Structure 1
Amino acid sequence: MATSEKYEHSSTKAEDGHDGHDHAGSLFGEKTELFFALLAGALVLAGWLFKKAEIGSDWLSTTLYCAAYVFGGYFTLKEAIDNLRAKRFEIDTLMLVAAAGAAALGKWGEGALLLFLFSLGHSLEHFAMARARRAIEALAKLAPETAIVRRGDITEEVPVESLQPGEIVLVKPNERLPADGVITKGTTSVNQAPVTGESVPVDKEPVTDAKAAIAAFDKTPANNRVFAGTINGAGSIEVMVARLATQSTMARVVQMVADAEAQRSPTQQFTDKFERKFVPAVLGLVVLLMLAFLVIDEPFADSFYRAMAVLVASSPCALAISVPSAVLSGVARAGRSGVLVKGGGPLENLGTLTSIAFDKTGTLTEGKPKMTDVVVASGTEEAELLNVVLAVEAHSDHPLASALVIGARDRLGGKRQQVTANNVKSITGRGIEADVDGEKVYVAKPIHFTELTAGAVPEALASANEKLVANGCTTMIVLKGERYLGVIGVMDTPREVAGEVMGKLRTLGIERLIMISGDNQKVADSVARTVGLTEARGDLMPDQKVEEIKRLRETHGKVAMVGDGVNDAPAMANSTVGIAMGAAGSDVALEAADVALMGDDLSQLPFVVGLSRQTSSVIKQNLWISLGVVAALIPATIFGLNIGTAVLFHEGSTIIVVINALRLLAFKDKTSA
């Protein structure tokens, strides 16, 4: 897959700022550095045992220590040279200076121990970071390398990279799909978990007009489109390719996750600034300690040794790796569950905020209006009302019309009659009119009937209409001739999981759950009550939504905005973290969001908030560990702690923060238990 090459190219730089080691052609491949470190440790141990047991003369143990220098310092020296060529003075250089200083003082054993533990810590660090990267890189390998394409009357196997939009590929049962596209033949269910995180396979069926569907791929219904890397079920299908391999949803996600590594989180920016000031200060302290023999009565060798010990103790190895290791592990874990997080900034910010704003339509609600209520006037049968509505609205292409048609058919069942509507006309902004059984019929908003001469709406019907509106319904009154038949309530119903999701978010510490909507305030209030929001703002134009987000940020600090990534892009852009729903297949949503929930599944939100909370906690723990060890070791080495013990604590803290960060790869959503 072409994406793999891009990913590998973008990943050659390690997160901690050091170049990745190139082990190409090495005897043990990626494990060469670890093998060298362990060999250095064995030589240090052998040298110490020979010296303790007084086996051979001093030259034997010294020779073993020198050999440990070679194996323990090989990769450290190699990296230090690369850094110096790039005009970077890094931790590797400090370690080599300390080891050389120990050798100059005849402390070969302590110098060898320093290089062994430093190289061991570095090799384990690189191994751990590579493991986190592989969790992301595995996404790039989900799509197959070849596809069966039908060209004319023949079929042939071709590389996925050669597929062009409009070509037809054949997918057998239980195979991975090679490209984004739409189904043209066959029905099946597809496991979309690799892209969207959905746990249940999604039923798929052929699209009516394939070419039109691939031209507007992000607007094509979910049951017609498929994505590269997902897994076909039991049915054989034919798929028309919608995008090149490098432009597929999977390819874009992998590339964006890879790019996210380069983005610095707020805490990482802080640690970078801290290191830039801390390292020169430490070097200044080391120089002063080397000159201590001029002030106090001690040999230069003792002052020099103490300075080297402080140099080892104060090198911020654990600090350098503490934040990027946590961020990368968090991003990898989110990607595995169908959530794209674009770097450490959004991940860390989402873990610290206490306010989330939601769009209503398509986010908290299904995005599809449904007939929810039918109230008939006195003396009218429900079947008569619904048959008239069905006959008239079947001629309209208005979004509400399809809801009325579907709802009427479902409610009528066997009571459906053949009613004919003629001279159907749309009333702009009001509704629709037609002739039925020789009488004029209106299906329109209540305000329209104040403009007619048919007489006022009956009091009982007007009261029923007001109740429906108060409950959040859009209402349509039906008039046939001089007789009012009833009122129908249509509503974009809340998602079934919305209430549960809000409860989980409160459990996670989100204090304010706010809806900002273009719908009228009564509708907004009704939905807010149903799903359990703390606040609802209705009657907002797009520019007013932006102003509302700005107000929330001024009042409450950080705030996230959850929307569809298209209509809500301005509001999302002005929030601390923009979260797009149903981003799979949508270029606009992927570009607009800081966090993209690939599936149209609101229940992914508590997962990513919980993961972000845990990531923020791990980052804080790592900072306390790394800074705490340095703060304790510096005075300890000034007052006599030897290099060997300092190295043990120093490199031990580096390994601890890496292991702590890797725990995020196994994160589980506790709120879903």
Structure 2
Amino acid sequence: MSERIRLDIPVVLPDVGIAADRCIARLTALLAAHEGVEEAHLRNSTSAETLPQLCVHYDPDAVSLARIRDMISTAGATITDQFGHLVWQAEGISHQRRARTVAETLSASPGVVEAVVSAAGMIRIEFDRQKTSEEAIRAELDRLDAPIITSETASASHAHDHKHRKGDHSNDNDAEGHDHAHGGIFGSQTELIFALLCGGLLASGFAAEKLTSAPPWFSLTCYLAAYGFGGWFTLREAIDNLRLKRFEIDTLMLVAAAGAGALGAWAEGALLLFLFSLGHALEHYAMGRAKRAIEALAELAPRTAMVRRGEGQVEIPVEDLVIGDTVVVKPNERLAADGFVVTGRSSVNQAPVTGESVSVDKEPVSDRAQAASRPDTVSAEHRVFAGTINGPGAIEIAVTRLSADTTLAKVVQMVSEAETQKSPTQRFTDRFERVFVPTVLALVMVLLFAWTVVDEPFRDSFYRAMAVLVAASPCALAIATPSAVLSGVARAARGGVLIKGGGPLENLGSLTALAFDKTGTLTEGRPRITDIVPASGVSESDLMKIAVAVERLSDHPLAAAIVRDGEQFLGGQDIPVASDLSSLTGRGVQASVAGKIVLIGKAEMFGHDGFPALSSQSAQTIEHLREQGRTTMAVQIGDRDLGIIGLLDTPRAAAKQTIARLKALGILRMIMISGDNQRVAAAVAGEVGIDEAWGDLMPEDKVAAIAKLRAEMPVAMVGDGVNDAPAMANATVGIAMGAAGSDVALETADVALMADDLSHLPFAVGLSLSTRWVIRQNLVVSLGVVALLVPATVMGLGIGPAVMAHEGSTLLVVFNALRLLAYRDNGGGK
């Protein structure tokens, strides 16, 4: 089913004056390339009063409105305040069928654009603020006996601007009381206790009937009481389904139990309800294990922080921290906030957030004010994250993010959202069920009238029809995929990998091709100057002074290397002041020094678009350096060459081993794409074990390259999630490295490797392969049991054995999925 959303262009892109602006074309191309988006186009206004609109057609099962917000945000746009985004944890949702009932009821509510509910009780809602409100949605959930126990509200202007309310955390003391109030008189265990009471009453009634001379009314009373306890939760679910004009397994079980009672087979009816309610309760328990694995992430960060106030220290709740606070962290304590180290040295165990197995050494920044002005550029040896564990040294950190905006908080929120994203297999099984259930009902209706054809009493025909009803109900099929996805996403998050839903989780394991960006992905991303070759009549110092002056104004990795190594080379010499920097995307930069135009960039930039050509000497130098695998930057002032600077970015230590492990996992084709010269790209690719290298690519060429690859086969794009965002959006799966602390990387990627460590990629691919294998196993079990039970019940198998096999298969697929929580990467040991 396709949904549409329309956004006013002046709101989406405030700086765009006309609808024909190139930004619109880039935005629509970015959206249309993404899986689940069927079409993105401009809807022109029909009158002068009507604003032009961006119209997006999308499949809500494949991509959420929140994800579309992320993509629009990645394109440098904002989104209208009209649509609200809620992510809530609800009580009273313990299985897939209940989740589907709540989701469909919410979706039918006025103003709700999308409502998706996971079997673990996570709810994601997109709503139109002009037609409904958060309070109205809460009231509807209370009516459905699915009250909210944890809530995160994202503002419409940004998909991850979350407001955490005090007392809404799942591990608060009041949360337990809330659960007790709504879960029943025994709290969250009410369903299991009711099932056991049903079983006890069934056993008592059966024993009294068969083994004693108790009056018949005693056994009947026990059976009726068993009906009450066993059917309590089932009846509630059936009523909700009937309101939606839908027959689910809960309704069918009640019909079967009522039919058994009408025929006087009270014991069999009570047995049916006992086994069904016990199966539900155990399924609830098993799914709770996967849910607790995700909730454990939220509990990593401490609830209080020790903050320096003047000469003293005071302990405050983490919600009261403000940016700029100085937090004191004692040895072996968990860090309470994201920030950078200002005092002390220590090693920090970052495994809870990034999955890194080795502690990372931390040291204070040299200039606190400068680091505070640009916190996102602070290097890894200074940056720390909430939820990580300090080592032996006491440190003090400057807070750079509020508690609701920490990397850990974003990961928890995104993992919660991922629970509600359906995988391709789940979308298939949902479509299958929509055809299969009516078919079963038709078969049952035929069997009800079998007594008119076969010489048997109506009682036997009715009993057989009810047995077929039970046997053919696709409970195991409904939970087979969601349980595996939930477990897989939870396990990935514990290993420092954020996977945004079942789609990326399944797709990653089906890929046979991977494309890598070079700089910062296969290489360290910290190039160093290896060669300084001045032109005739120019000294090395003169060349480096101009280069450093200009590159100080740029934030490109190559610019940072030139500034760092150039300042060290100059040793404190005076450096002129540059101004008016302009970036020539993918080629270089232009600035002004002492009134003269300075150009620094690739050789291919010169001699085109009005720029002076390089001298033959400079061209020969560049050719020679490229043969040695160097990245080259030519420097020109006015129309005179100053010289060539050669740089080398070393491949990551783990790159070669990672590529070998990926090949062992079945990735047949790997391509490195780079904006660097073809020979330099080929040299780096050969060093890490990649056969194909595509160099000389501008940013738009990378997008075209990924689109070309995707047309041939499914392909994943691995990059930093910032500069590579458009190319990643065009890939089947976009994978960002080093996403911890980078909002852009977290939002743009389908899969985010939290650590800046390439070795986590085989773990993600291996987990995806295991998840796909578990899903296939679950589908075989769920469909196989139905295929065996239906003929068996038609031939006379009773309701009791049918229910046992039915509930057994449901529990089997759930516990099979839970094996993913214990997945270990043989190569990386996660």
TM-score by length of structure 2 reads 0.70
Q: Does 1:514 align with 2:671?
A: yes
CA-CA distance at 1:293 after TM superposition: 1.5
Q: Please name the residue that 1:294 is paired with.
A: 452
Q: Which amino acid aligns with 1:641?
A: L
How far apart, in 1, do the equivalents of 2:196 and 2:450 lie? 36
Q: How does 1:114-513 map to 2 (within 5 A)?
A: 114-371=272-529, 397=551, 403=561, 466=623, 468-475=625-632, 489-513=646-670
Q: Please name the residue that 1:437 is paired with.
A: none
Compare CA radii of gyration and give the structure with the larger one: 1
CA-CA distance at 1:178 after TM superposition: 1.3
Q: Which amino acid aligns with 2:331?
A: P
CA-CA distance at 1:470 after TM superposition: 2.5
How far apart, in 1, do the equivalents of 2:510 and 2:372 lie? 40
How far apart, in 2, do the equivalents of 1:116 and 1:425 lie? 80
CA-CA distance at 1:559 after TM superposition: 1.0
Q: Check the 8 A contact 1:386/1:408 in 2, yes or no.
A: no
Q: Check the 8 A contact 1:257/1:340 in 2, yes or no.
A: yes
How far apart, in 2, do the equivalents of 1:265 and 1:622 lie? 14
Q: Which amino acid aligns with 2:818?
A: L
Shifted more, 487-496 versus 344-353: the winner is 487-496
How far apart, in 1, do the equivalents of 2:572 and 2:798 lie? 97
Q: Check the 8 A contact 1:371/1:490 in 2, yes or no.
A: yes
Change (3 A) 1:512 1:375: same
Q: Does 1:71 align with 2:255?
A: no
Change (3 A) 1:618 1:422: closer
Q: Which amino acid aligns with 1:321?
A: I
Q: Check the 8 A contact 2:471/2:802 in 1, yes or no.
A: yes
Q: Please name the residue that 1:481 is paired with.
A: none
Q: Check the 8 A contact 1:217/1:585 in 2, yes or no.
A: no
CA-CA distance at 1:609 after TM superposition: 0.5
How far apart, in 2, do the equivalents of 1:76 and 1:188 lie? 56
Q: Please name the residue that 2:777 is paired with.
A: 621
Change (3 A) 1:449 1:628: closer
CA-CA distance at 1:672 after TM superposition: 3.2
Among 507, 519, 525, the alignment partner of 2:682 is 525
Q: Which amino acid aligns with 1:542?
A: P
Q: Please name the residue that 2:104 is paired with.
A: none
Q: Which amino acid aligns with 2:684?
A: V
How far apart, in 2, do the equivalents of 1:15 and 1:571 lie? 38
Higher share in helix: 1
- The alignment partner of 2:315 has SS state of strand
For residues 34-70 of structure 1, give each alpha carbon's deviation from its aligned partner in whole angstroms, at most 9, with x where no partner exists.
2222332333344445555465455554443333222
Change (3 A) 1:40 1:472: same
How far apart, in 1, do the equivalents of 2:452 and 2:616 lie? 105
Change (3 A) 1:109 1:405: same
Change (3 A) 1:488 1:570: closer
For residues 73-107 of structure 1, give each alpha carbon's deviation from its aligned partner in whole angstroms, at most 9, with x where no partner exists.
22222332344345553221111111111111112
CA-CA distance at 1:10 after TM superposition: 5.8
Q: Which amino acid aligns with 1:634?
A: V
Q: CA RMSD in A?
A: 3.8
Change (3 A) 1:234 1:11: farther
How far apart, in 1, do the equivalents of 2:426 and 2:238 lie? 23
Among 689, 692, 698, the alignment partner of 1:535 is 692
- The alignment partner of 1:493 has SS state of coil
Q: Check the 8 A contact 1:170/1:238 in 2, yes or no.
A: yes
Q: Which amino acid aligns with 2:495?
A: S
Q: Please name the residue that 2:766 is paired with.
A: 610
How far apart, in 2, do the equivalents of 1:14 and 1:245 lie? 30
Q: Please name the residue that 2:715 is paired with.
A: 559
How far apart, in 2, do the equivalents of 1:594 and 1:201 lie? 27
CA-CA distance at 1:213 after TM superposition: 2.8
CA-CA distance at 1:228 after TM superposition: 1.2
CA-CA distance at 1:523 after TM superposition: 1.2
Q: Please name the residue that 2:788 is paired with.
A: 632
For residues 400-456 of structure 1, give each alpha carbon's deviation from its aligned partner in whole angstroms, at most 9, with x where no partner exists.
57757877999xxxxx99897898999997999x9xxxxxxxx9999999999xx98
TM-score by length of structure 1 reads 0.85
Q: Check the 8 A contact 2:548/2:567 in 1, yes or no.
A: no
Q: How does 1:88-127 map to 2 (within 5 A)?
A: 88-127=246-285
Change (3 A) 1:402 1:341: closer
Q: Which amino acid aligns with 1:130?
A: G
Q: Which amino acid aligns with 1:625?
A: V
Equivalent residues, number: 641
For residues 8-35 of structure 1, give each alpha carbon's deviation from its aligned partner in whole angstroms, at most 9, with x where no partner exists.
6367655614156876244432222222
How far apart, in 2, do the equivalents of 1:633 and 1:348 lie? 30
Shifted more, 212-221 versus 80-89: the winner is 80-89
Among 31, 50, 54, the alignment partner of 2:189 is 31
Q: Please name the residue that 2:98 is paired with.
A: 18
- The alignment partner of 1:183 has SS state of strand
Q: Check the 8 A contact 2:759/2:828 in 1, yes or no.
A: no
Structure 2 alignment gaps of length 5 or more: 1-85, 100-120, 122-144, 147-178, 583-587, 594-599, 636-642
How far apart, in 2, do the equivalents of 1:87 and 1:172 lie? 60
Q: Please name the residue that 2:110 is paired with.
A: none
For residues 196-254 of structure 1, give each alpha carbon's deviation from its aligned partner in whole angstroms, at most 9, with x where no partner exists.
11111112222234344344332221122211111122222222221111111111111
For residues 615-661 of structure 1, give each alpha carbon's deviation from its aligned partner in whole angstroms, at most 9, with x where no partner exists.
01111110111011111111111111111111111111001000100
- The alignment partner of 1:324 has SS state of helix
- The alignment partner of 1:367 has SS state of coil
How far apart, in 2, do the equivalents of 1:546 and 1:198 lie? 31
Q: Check the 8 A contact 2:419/2:486 in 1, yes or no.
A: yes
Q: Which amino acid aligns with 2:808?
A: G
Which structure has the higher relative contact order (CA within 8 Å, separation 6+)? 1
CA-CA distance at 1:185 after TM superposition: 2.0
Percent identity, aligned pairs only, is 60
Change (3 A) 1:548 1:55: farther
Q: Check the 8 A contact 2:631/2:676 in 1, yes or no.
A: no
Q: Does 1:641 align with 2:797?
A: yes
- The alignment partner of 2:649 has SS state of strand
Q: Check the 8 A contact 1:37/1:116 in 2, yes or no.
A: yes
Structure 1 alignment gaps of length 5 or more: 1-5, 377-384, 411-415, 435-442, 479-485
How far apart, in 1, do the equivalents of 2:802 and 2:691 lie? 53
Shifted more, 563-572 versus 9-18: the winner is 9-18
Change (3 A) 1:400 1:312: closer
How far apart, in 2, do the equivalents of 1:334 and 1:418 lie? 47
Q: Check the 8 A contact 1:205/1:224 in 2, yes or no.
A: yes
